[in-house]
Copies of this chain bind each other. A is one copy, B any other.
Amino acid sequence: MKGNDNVARQMPDKNGVSELHHDAMTGGGRIDFEIIEGFFFAYRDFISDPDAILEKSGFGRAHHRVVHFVNREPGMTVADLLDTLKITKQSLARVLKQLIDSGYIQQVAGPEDRRQRKLYPTRAGRELALALAEPQSRRIARAFEAMSADERRVVIQFLTGMQNAKSE
């Protein structure tokens, strides 16, 4: 530490420390902090599962998403993928090119509209997607362990309700 400027003393003084909030934020009960934070921690841990696997291939989370959705909907076009991921084509281009060059995804010119590039997973791409989904599915199964079928449906209802309306 080179200078301990900016470090206020504990007691109220001219530094404006008296303006500080020492009480936990409650929002007067209007804010659902329990869900906000539970969602944050759950998602943080959820996406950490595949990271070890991705490291081995030299890929990141962006590659994970691409290989996942191409496997879930083989034949989807680049435009479909952009719409699903909500990123720019320049952003997608980088990771998609790497997945194609590495032999996990292939492109096929659209049979009707030959401008399109339909995306298909190779055998290796399918295997990678499954390997990535596995630990996530195990985590879900663990969270569902003590739950009834009805309760699991409630979770699906919640996740659906948290999403933006589909624009179709």
Which A residues lie at the B interface, using CB under 8 A? Answer: 4, 6-10, 16-17, 19-25, 27, 30-46, 48, 65, 68, 71-75, 86, 100, 106-109, 111, 117, 120-123, 125-126, 129-130, 133-134, 136-137, 139-147, 151, 154-164
Provide 22 A-B residue pairs closer than 8 Å at the C-beta atoms, listed in order of the A residue. Answer: A16-B122, A17-B106, A21-B74, A21-B120, A24-B74, A25-B129, A25-B133, A31-B130, A31-B134, A35-B156, A38-B163, A40-B65, A42-B158, A42-B162, A45-B162, A45-B163, A143-B157, A145-B161, A147-B154, A151-B154, A154-B155, A155-B155
**A72–B161 touching, CB < 8 Å:** no
The interface residues of chain B lying within 8 Å CB-to-CB of A4 are: 109
Q: Which of B7, B120, B130 contacts A22 (CB 8 A)?
A: B120
* Copies per complex of this chain: 2
| Closest Cβ neighbor of A120 among chain B residues | B20
**B120–A36 touching, CB < 8 Å:** no
How distant is the Cα of A37 from the Cα of B72 in the complex, in angstroms? 10
Q: Which of B86, B130, B157 contacts A44 (CB 8 A)?
A: B86
- If A140-B36, A147-B154 touch, whether A7 touches B159 (CB-CB below 8 Å) is no
The interface residues of chain B lying within 8 Å CB-to-CB of A146 are: 157
Give 7 closest A-B pairs by Cβ, nearest first: A143-B161, A38-B159, A42-B162, A25-B71, A20-B120, A42-B159, A31-B137
